[in-house]
């Protein structure tokens, strides 16, 4: 609820596609390594 905590969560909320892409890339790398 504090404004200091909001900024850290805001970037992730504003860029969900970037997070999804990063997660996908990491998942692909893990699958390739396995």
**Segment 1-34, tens digit of pLDDT:** 555 555 555 555 555 555 566 667 767 777 776 5
Q: Hey, what are 4's tokens?
A: 């200091």
- What is the reported pTM? 0.31
Cα separation, 31 vs 23, whole angstroms: 12
Q: How confident is the model at residue 32, as a pLDDT?
A: 75
d(CA 34, CA 12): 29
Residue positions counted in the chain: 34
Answer yes or no: are the C-beta atoms of 21 and 28 closer than 8 Å: no
């Amino acid at each position: 609820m504090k404004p200091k905590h909001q900024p850290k969560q805001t970037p992730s909320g504003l860029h969900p596609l970037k997070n999804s892409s990063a997660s996908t890339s990491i998942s692909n790398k893990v699958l390739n390594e396995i």
